[in-house]
Amino acid sequence: MTMIKMALRSLIGNGLKTWLNVFVLSFTFVLIIFMQGLLEGWNRQAVTDTVTWEIAGGQYWSQKYDPYDPFSIDSSAAVVPSSFRKEYDAHDIEPVLYAKGTIYPGGRMQGVLLKGIRPDQHLLALPTYLLKADGAEIPVIMGAHMAKQANLKVNDLVTLRWRDVNGTFEAVDIRVAGIFRTSVPTVDIGQIWLPLDELQKMTLQPNACTILITKPEIPIQQLSAWPFKDQTELTKQTAAMIQAKSKGYNVFYFIFLSMALIAIFDTQTLSIFRRQREIGTLVALGMTQKQVVSLFTLEGTMNALLAILVGTIWGLPIFVAFAVNGIHIPMDVSSFGVPMADKMFPYFTLKLVAGTISFIMVITALVSYWPAHKIARMKPTDAIRGKAL
């Protein structure tokens, strides 16, 4: 207890130097927790949005479907298995047919992935009810990013060219029945959604689909021709991408933490040099050198404790404000390829906060011990004379 009092008194006695160190360290604390919270929030939001817009309870993929081979997409469909008939009729399973096409907005040529879906589906957040629109042209919906890329607006007509299953070219005009905003680029970029029965007719593939999307509670069927992909597998890539971004942020953490720790190290080194007489006196008064080392280490580590306190005072209101109101992303991030909403909500877990605090405490203690361990090699007599170092 005495040691803590001595360390604290000495630390406060350092005045502005201490508070500068504490502020820099508190800034690092707050920044690391905030950034990690932001990534955690992004991850959760990305998974939730992907489930809402694209995955639902999971997907069955036609055995021939390979998302990494765009050239084989046209021949990847298969007839919906009869074992799904009940779920199919009840809309507990939604077939989606993929085909490649080309649109010609304003005389430009643009490759698109056509996705046929039943207009009355309710598993995904896509506004497919707009596909029920009557008219001479086939109604289609597309994401805001796709519409921007193609320079298309609602009710615009554009020529669509595709090949049927035999390879014969076909082309018609389609009408943009709706444009939706989504944070999930995999249902937006380079894609056009149209009624399933139309796409089946267009490609001469009656009753065929490429994937089957299931309702979450539906029991999974093990079919060799239709392997099942669960939510974890389907969001694996998004999680990996965010993980990779998280690693990228480690560089910033390292820089900020290094700044704070160099300041503490520098203060400790200077302090030990200047306070040689005090160290010698303490040893002369009966403290062991080990106790003196502990005192100085504690003094350095207390920087981190004070930083936690200061960081809590100014950082907590910021955390709460952002966690509640979210952070508006001031640019169009839909082309990044990772699900990212316009507003991001950081998510702070106890594990994250406790983990960051423990990590910084241990690092600060090590940095404080490093200059202090020289005291153990000091001769008390030289120290009293101020000539030990």
Partner 1 sequence: MNSFKIGILLFLVLATSYAQNYPTGKSILDKVDKNMSAKTRVMTASMEVGTERTKRTMVSKIYGEGDHKAYTEYLAPAREKGTKMLKLDNQLWIYSPTTDRTVQISGHMLRQSVMGSDMSYEDMMNDKPLLEQYQADVTGTETIDGANCWVVTLTAIIPDANYFTRKMWVDSERFIPLKEDLFAKSGKLLKRITFSNVQKVQGRWFPLSFVYKDMLKDGPGTKLTIQEIQLDTQIPASVFNLGNLK
* Residues in contact with partner 1 by the rule CB under 8 A: 69, 71-72, 74-75, 102, 104, 107-109, 159, 161, 163-164, 166-172
CA-based nearest residue to 299, from 1, 3, 2: 3
Provide, rounded to whole angstroms, the least separation between the CB of residue 99 and partner 1. Answer: 12
Provide, rounded to whole angstroms, the least separation between the CB of residue 168 and partner 1. Answer: 6
Provide, rounded to whole angstroms, the least separation between the CB of residue 68 and partner 1. Answer: 11
- 72 or 258, CB closer to partner 1? 72
- 73 or 353, CB closer to partner 1? 73
Q: What is the DSSP letter of 345?
A: -
Kindly tell me the sign of the dihedral angle through the C-alpha atoms of 224, 228, 233, 235. positive
How, if at all, do strands 110-117 and 191-195 pair? Answer: parallel
Q: How many CA atoms lie within 13 A of 29 on its CB side?
A: 31
- 69 or 332, CB closer to partner 1? 69
Question: Which residue(s) pair with 143 in the sheet?
Answer: 180
Provide, rounded to whole angstroms, the least separation between the CB of residue 210 and partner 1. Answer: 15
Provide, rounded to whole angstroms, the least separation between the CB of residue 69 and partner 1. Answer: 6
Provide, rounded to whole angstroms, the least separation between the CB of residue 159 and partner 1. Answer: 5
- 82 or 168, CB closer to partner 1? 168
Alpha-carbon gap, residue 306 to 314, rounded angstroms: 13
Provide, rounded to whole angstroms, the least separation between the CB of residue 104 and partner 1. Answer: 4
- 66 or 382, CB closer to partner 1? 66
- 75 or 83, CB closer to partner 1? 75
Taking every pair of Cα atoms in the chain, the longest distance, rounded to a whole number of angstroms, is: 101
Q: 19-29 in b/e burial notation, b at 16+ Cβ within 10 A?
A: bebbbbbbbbb
- 158 or 234, CB closer to partner 1? 158
Dihedral class, residue 300 (left if φ above 0, else alpha if ψ from -120 to 50, else beta): alpha
Question: Please, are residues 380 and 280 in contact by the beta-carbon 8 Å criterion?
Answer: yes
Dihedral, CA of residue 225, residue 229, residue 234 and residue 236, to nearest 10: -110
Phi, psi of 331, rounded to the nearest 5 degrees: -140, 170
Provide, rounded to whole angstroms, the least separation between the CB of residue 194 and partner 1. Answer: 15
Alpha-carbon gap, residue 76 to 352, rounded angstroms: 44
- 140 or 279, CB closer to partner 1? 140
CA-based nearest residue to 46, from 325, 377, 334: 334
Phi, psi of 180, rounded to the nearest 5 degrees: -115, 155
Amino acid (1-letter code) at residue 149: Q
